[in-house]
Amino acid sequence: MRPFGEVYRWIFPCALFDFARACPELETSAEFMDVRNPILVEVTRGPLVESFHRGAYALVDAQGRVIRAVGDIDRPIYPRSALKPLQALALIESGAAEAFGVSGEEIALACGSHSGQDIHVEKVGAWLKRLGLSADDLECGASEPVDAGAKKALVRRGEAPTALHHNCSGKHAGFLTVARHLKVPTRNYIDPEHPVQQLVLQHITTMTGAIPHSPCGCDGCGVPTWAMPLSALALGMARLADKPSIITAMQTHPFLVAGRGRFDTDVMTAHPNLVVKGGAEGVLCALIPEQGLGLAIKVDDGGLRAASVIGAALLSAYAPLSAEKCAPPVLNNQGAPVGVLRAVLPS
């Protein structure tokens, strides 16, 4: 059997690959999925429930005590970009941030999934320039901005998106800063065997108590994404309460964590006592620092719209979130409300 690092490097350049055949040691989908997870969000249209989303969530304190949970919180899931605040610990605790004068804004970008608006692109570009690097050194790949307005602006200017527009470019700038500080090669810094990723893995393991012998996938931006139980992800978020550099940066600069009209930014702007970070495939994490509680949510079908509704419903116990966040309307093509997304949280 190939070592996993070798398999990873073999498959990374090409998406046309039968992962299950190459890695038969991984569990089957039946073992990974639990159909008993309850319905957590209903989508109505007129008088009927048109669709629904199943999922699980865990609210955990820094000692690992489960305060509230619904669904299968022990099934391994990929945390995706919701893990970025924990990944950014390598930047802080290695001394790289201090050595290279990384600002609070840049820490927020390292923790975020930005929208590719001009302010995001300019700040990541300036950060890389200070390192003696450029967009060409980012290994996340070029990507269109998440923000529709930023995407249209690029088209109007006749410009192609670059790696700076990728929502993960701030995280990757952080990885490159760590590589510079460790005096290791900046090339292939996304490889799971690279010293930067090994250091990131150590911090994630310490914070979550998970990882060893866990399945590892390739995230959208090319870095390794390690599976962990939802309860472990929530624990990692709870322990962030003792990492003031991370939480202060995210609370102070919420626009750099996401951007215009994004759930993370909107909630932290309205309620700076919270820390919120979403990820792909229906993952959402939050920290309530004053209570030292971490929240992790996973929607079974990967629905991002459902994750934010569940998150708003749970976080409303700690901050007065708006009705539009807790129960966003379903709109028709004319912009008229025709239904609603509503959380159905078991007691």
Task: Measure CA 154 to chain center.
Answer: 25
Joined tokens for residue 9: 């490097």
Give residue 5's pLDDT: 43
Q: Which residues of the chain have pLDDT under 50?
A: 1-28, 30, 32, 34
Match 């690029």 to its residue by tokens.
154
Alpha-carbon distance of 125 to 169, in angstroms, equals 9
CA trace torsion 25, 27, 28, 30 (10° rounding): 170
Give residue 33's pLDDT: 54
> Which domains does the chain possess?
39-343 (3.40.710)
Alpha-carbon distance of 34 to 43, in angstroms, equals 22
Task: Measure CA 246 to chain center.
Answer: 14
Give residue 214's pLDDT: 83
Q: What is the pTM for the complete model shown?
A: 0.89
Beta strands in 132-266 (DSSP E): 216-218, 224-226, 228-229
The answer to whether the CB of 297 falls within 8 A of the CB of 311 is yes
Q: List 329's β-bridge partners, or say none.
A: 340
How far is the CA of 330 from the CAs of 259, 280, 307, in angstroms?
22, 21, 16
Q: List 342's β-bridge partners, or say none.
A: 42
Alpha-carbon distance of 70 to 38, in angstroms, equals 8
The answer to whether the CB of 249 falls within 8 A of the CB of 266 is no
- Say which residues have a Cβ less than 8 Å from residue 316's Cβ, sequence separation at least 6: 326
Q: How many CB atoms lie within 10 A of CB 53?
A: 24
Give residue 347's pLDDT: 66
Q: How many CB atoms lie within 10 A of CB 11?
A: 16
Q: Which of 259, 253, 297 is nearest to 275 (CA)?
A: 253
Give residue 320's pLDDT: 92
